[in-house]
Amino acid sequence: MRHLPLRGQCYTSVVARIAYLECTKCGAHLSAEQPQTVCPKDGGVLYVRYDLAELKPSFTAASLFGRTPTMWRYAEVMPEAEPVSLGEGFTPMLPSREHPNVYIKDEGLNPTGSFKARGMSAAVTMAKAYGLKKLAAPSAGNAGGALAAYAAAAGIEAHIFMPKDVPPANRVECESFGAKVTLVDGLIGDCARRVAEQKEAEGWFDVSTLKEPFRIEGKKTMGYEVAEQLGWRVPHGIIYPTGGGVGLIGMWKAFAEMQELGWIGAERPQMVAVQSSGCAPIAKAWDEGKPTADLWANAETIAAGLRVPKAYGDYLILEILHKSGGVALSVTDDEIMDALRHWARVEGIFAAPEGAAALAAYRKLRASGFFGADDSVVLFNTGSGLKYLDVIEAAKRGPRPAARQIGGIIGPH
Ligand SMILES: Cc1ncc(COP(=O)(O)O)c(C=O)c1O
Ligand SMILES: [Zn+2]
């Protein structure tokens, strides 16, 4: 039975199913009874751990039958709190009309038009359960809109810092949801700095990407859905437009959990991280065989969500690419725009530039022979093109819109 904590009630009741939070660097265990950010010892990203062995007998794939068609259908492996839900998740897995064995997971159909809804639904759910009243995040993209929407639904304040040249759709939706938007004369790193400087005095809880453990839990549900929608099989490959890489990290966690639950075997998809050639720190680190990525200078791309010069979880992304036999690659903005138009005309899907990068990557990987025609590959369209009308119009007219540059260690999340 789900329930909210009463004022003053011990947090334990809302996190009963969570065994502990585990540091992905040193393995330290932390309690989920109070809000956590990153490992206090080494800044490692924290994973939420459940007692899967205890869940296994009753939490079967068959038990999902008839459940709500949202990401909360996987309730046993989600935080036990009353979900702050707007119907996120369980998005369509569309067979491509062009490429046999290719599927398009259309995340543009989520509330607020992107997969960021999943992470924010989970993070705001926990924020509400913990009794937090004010959340803050830097954002140059869809995460701000998602945070604003879920905060509105939860009756929590949202403080969002965006560069002053943020895409209009993102700013307008945040303001419409009643969020306090601060436009910063600077780059996303400057926005992150403003949040860091002000959060203590203002009493804000920082829900920056990977610095809050539950956004991964929301995004991992994409992995559960891929397996469920393909009849409890994992595809040969998954192509994921990678900025901070939270979805890729989350899906990999989901596959491990599903194996422990006995829902899938040891097989894993080859995980592919696609970036824009104007900001490709992960692809560069991959090519150089490094375990972490260097900060990318002068990040510049029409795919706003991929403008992450230094992903906080770079070590996790690169490890997953290696373990899965995957690859990281970059595609140009022109290739992205071409793929965007092509998808719209051939598939009837109006993708975000970030999502269209997945098709551009698939084309390259087919041409190079990395994937064959028989390989089943899931392409993630992470957002709706409707939020990028200015970018798409400007690209149609010829010269690209003035590039927005960002710096700093926190991306547009
Ligand atoms: C549409 C879209 N796709 C992809 C990304 C990158 O997401 P991740 O941080 O999970 O790599 C973003 C991030 O803002 C986004 O808005
Ligand atoms: Zn640690």
Probe ligand 1: pick from 105, 142, 296, max atoms within 8 Å of CB? 142
pLDDT bracket for residue 409 (50, 70, 90): very low
Q: Which ligand does the CA of 380 lie closest to? A: 1
Tell me if 283 sits within 8 A of 252, measured CB to CB. no
- How many angstroms separate the Cα of 401 from the Cα of each of 13, 47, 338, 392, 393? 50, 39, 16, 9, 9
Q: Would you call 140 helix, strand, or coil by DSSP?
A: coil
Beta-bridge partner residues of 50: 18
- Residues forming beta bridges with residue 134, ordered by sequence position: 157
Question: What is the residue with the minimal CA distance to atom 5 of ligand 1?
Answer: 305
Ligand 1 neighbour 413 (Cβ under 6 A): yes
Residue 408 reports pLDDT greater than 60: no
Which range (18-27, 217-226, 304-313) has the least confidence?
304-313
Q: Which residues contact 183 (CB under 8 A, 6 or more apart)?
A: 162, 163, 164, 166, 171
Helix, strand, coil shares of the chain as percentages rounded to 5?
Answer: 40, 15, 40
Q: Ligand 2 centroid to 20 CA: how many Å?
A: 13
Question: What are the tokens at 255?
Answer: 């596959």
Higher model confidence: residue 88 or residue 395?
88
> Which residues sit with Cβ closer than 5 angstroms to ligand 2, an ion?
23, 25-26, 28, 39, 41-42, 44
Under the banding of pLDDT at 50, 70 and 90, the label for residue 165 is confident
Nearest CA to ligand 1 atom 12: 305
222 contacts: CB under 8 Å, gap ≥ 6: 89, 105, 107, 115, 118, 247, 250, 251, 254, 380
Ligand 2: centre distance to CA 49 (Å): 15
Per-residue tokens: 344: 């719209």
Between the CA of 102 and the centroid of ligand 2 the distance, in Å, is 39
Ligand approaching nearest to the C-alpha of 25: 2
Ligand nearest to the CA of 30: 2
Q: What is the pLDDT of residues 359-380, one digit of tens each?
A: 999 999 999 999 999 999 999 9
Rounded to the nearest angstrom, the distance between the alpha carbon of 156 and the centre of ligand 2 is 30
